[in-house]
């Protein structure tokens, strides 16, 4: 895989109840799309320490994707011109895994000064959705909440 931020998401269980759209080709990147969170989607948020700036990465089982840049909490959203991520996935016997490498983010150059939040929207075939994250700091799931960016990258020393 290429250089960049490597993300890996896994599911285990009865996958037949979930909406998991197949990619057109297992090792091909899909299109850049908006509103992927409306269905099953994995999300990663990366923020520089001591800064309100952050990036949101969305990855679908269909291999569609998007990356958004924010200047503050849900403010100043833009779509940065990044190369498509390298996405691979597989599924068998109740296991699903999606790996992606996101290139072009500043975090790939200086990981120790960044923090990360991981989350997932799992859409069931019956229309229900479940929202998972490292933490939900408020009463309702809010993946953009700065307190949900819990993981600190290790120092490269």
- Per-residue pLDDT of 70-122, as tens digits, reads 999 999 999 999 999 999 999 999 999 999 999 988 775 666 678 889 999 99
Query: Is the confidence at residue 16, as pLDDT, over 70?
Result: yes
Which residue, among 105, 68, 67, 99, has the nearest Cα to 86 in the 3D structure? 99
Q: Encode 75-114: b = buried (16+ Cβ within 10 Å), e = exposed.
A: eeeeeeebebbbbbbeeeeeebebbbbbeebebbeebeeb
Please, which residues bridge with residue 137 across strands?
none
Q: Determine the Cα–Cα distance for residues 92 and 105; give it in Å rounded to an integer.
A: 32
Quote the CA–CA distance of 97 and 110 in Å, as a whole number: 27
Q: How much is the pLDDT for 145?
A: 86
Q: What is the reported pTM?
A: 0.90
pLDDT per residue as tens digits for the range 30-67: 899 999 999 999 999 999 888 899 999 999 999 999 99
User: Domain range holding 87?
Assistant: 5-152
Structural domain includes residue 137:
yes
Helix, coil or strand: residue 56: strand
pLDDT for 1: 39
pLDDT tier for residue 155 given thresholds of 50, 70 and 90 = low
Query: Is residue 157 one of the residues assigned to a domain?
Result: no
The answer to whether residue 56 is domain-embedded is: yes
Does the residue 63 lie in any domain? Answer: yes
- Please count the structural domains in the chain: 1
Angle (CA) 11-137-111 rounded to 5° is 65
In a domain, 69, yes or no: yes
Q: Report yes or no on 136 lying in a domain.
A: yes
* pLDDT at residue 157, as a whole number: 55
The pLDDT of residue 114: 82
């Amino acid at each position: 895989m290429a250089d960049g931020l490597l993300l890996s998401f896994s599911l285990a269980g009865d996958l037949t109840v979930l909406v998991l759209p197949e990619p057109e080709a297992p090792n091909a990147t899909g299109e850049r799309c908006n509103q992927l969170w409306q269905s099953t989607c994995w999300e990663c948020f990366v923020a520089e320490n001591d800064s309100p700036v952050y990036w949101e990465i969305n990855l679908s089982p269909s291999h569609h994707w998007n990356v958004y840049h924010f200047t503050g909490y849900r403010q100043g959203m833009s779509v940065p011109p990044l190369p498509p991520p390298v996405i691979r996935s597989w599924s068998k016997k109740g296991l699903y895994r999606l790996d992606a490498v996101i290139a072009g983010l500043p975090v790939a150059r200086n990981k120790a000064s960044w923090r990360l939040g991981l989350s997932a929207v799992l859409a069931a075939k019956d229309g229900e959705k479940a929202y998972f994250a490292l933490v939900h700091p408020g009463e309702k799931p809010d993946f953009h909440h700065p307190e949900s960016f819990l993981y600190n990258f290790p120092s490269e020393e």
